[in-house]
Amino acid sequence: MANQNGETSLSVLTSGWIKQNPTFVQVLGLCPVLAVSTNAENALGMGLATLGVLAISNLFISFVRNIIPNEIRIPVYISIIAAFVTMVNLLMHGYTYNLWVSLGIYIPLIVVNCIPLGRAEVFASKHGPWKSFLDGLGMGIGFLGAIMLLGITRELFDAGTIFGYRIWPSAYNVFVVALPPGAFLVIGLYMGLFRYIGKMRSQKKVEGDESK
């Protein structure tokens, strides 16, 4: 019964990393990815906060999925997610105050991020708690990876540092990357790059099949 669609726990966990990456493949939840990826530290904080909310809300929604009436499921999901986001918001206010200040309104805005609601609707409402938790974890890791990639790239080109460690002298900086337009530019170029890599790999596969 656990493998009804050929889904093993491992494949559920890893599908969000690259194949179904929420940012680069599904193009969901872009607001925080673009807005708080100005440096690596903010990106890490945002990524972890979203990961936590995703995994826990998926788990909880999966537990209560059979007692929610179908007609009002979306408001119920939003309320559950909002409750967990409130907890994360208060926790970050208490323990990581500086990070909380620099992330600003983007922490409460995790509520309306399409990823937790999307996963609740598509996955957690149809699967058991363990799988749903893994799915949330996997998607969260995919999101964390994407936002970290952007954060590291933008900090590197803006300040020549990664997490504050200097990589190259500040004379080589391209300051537009840290401005709002830079976010669009960097994510656009990465998307083009990933598509190029995907195309190259599929071409290689075709050539390999022909030579057999």
Partner 1 sequence: MNANFGELFALMFSAMLVYNFLLSRFLGMCSFFGVSQKIDTAVGMSIAVIFVMVASGISAWVLNLLLIAWNLEFLQILVFVLVIAALVQFIEIFVKKTNPVLYNALGIYLPLITTNCAVLGVVLLNLNQSYDLMQTIFNTVGSALGYALAIILFASIRERLSIDELPPVFEGMPAAFITAFVLSMGFIAFSGMIKV
- Binding of residue 64 to partner 1 (CB under 8 A): no
- Binding of residue 90 to partner 1 (CB under 8 A): yes
> With respect to partner 1, which residue has the nearer C-beta, 105 or 171?
105
- Binding of residue 76 to partner 1 (CB under 8 A): no
> With respect to partner 1, which residue has the nearer C-beta, 29 or 138?
29
- Binding of residue 113 to partner 1 (CB under 8 A): yes
The CA distance from 147 to 93, in Å, is 21
Segment near partner 1 (CB under 8 A); pick from 11-19, 59-67, 183-191, 202-210: 183-191
Q: Give me the least distance between CB of 123 and partner 1, in Å please.
A: 17
Candidates 196, 201, 202, 203: give the one binding partner 1 (CB under 8 A).
196
The CA distance from 185 to 112, in Å, is 24
R_g over Cα of the chain = 19
> With respect to partner 1, which residue has the nearer C-beta, 28 or 55?
28
Contacts of 154 (CB under 8 A, 6+ apart): 37, 38, 39, 177, 178, 182, 183, 186
> With respect to partner 1, which residue has the nearer C-beta, 2 or 90?
90
Please tell me whether residue 165 adopts helix, strand or coil conformation.
strand
- Unique residue bearing structure tokens 């206010």: 93
Burial (CB < 10 A; 0-12, 13-18, 19+), residue 118, is middle
Binding interface with partner 1 (CB under 8 A): 27-32, 34-35, 74-75, 78-79, 82-83, 85-86, 89-90, 104-105, 108-109, 111-114, 117, 176, 179-185, 187-189, 191-192, 195-196, 199
